[in-house]
Structure 1
Amino acid sequence: SDTDSETGIENDIGSESDDYTQAVSDKFKHHLSGLFSCLEHMTEAAAYLTARYQIDIGGSSV
């Protein structure tokens, strides 16, 4: 019947929407993970440069 067809179509659309939402969520998590990794590397580099600067100018180490 038409009602069954419409319900099936609505379920398919809902499923596609769920798949899309999951894909966007996965990409967002991947993006945040990449940002965290970059910030972690930049923090390590800043700590290294600070320590080197302190040594080069003859100050105390951090």
Structure 2
Amino acid sequence: DFARYAESFGARGVKIERGDRLTRVLEEAFSRDTVTVIECPIDYSVNYEAFSLELEHLVCSP
């Protein structure tokens, strides 16, 4: 839990579970005069699928 770990050092810690909260959390972080750690869990399986589909059509040429 990186957000709680940051808080243990006196920073502000925020954990977001959904991407639609990221903009608001970033705006709040930049408006404060303190360190903010934003924890954003990522589902790497989704990234793998997206990149696999995209890279499947690329051709390397000499």
User: Does the pair score TM above 0.5?
Assistant: no
Q: Which has the higher contact order (CA 8 A, sep 6+)?
A: 2
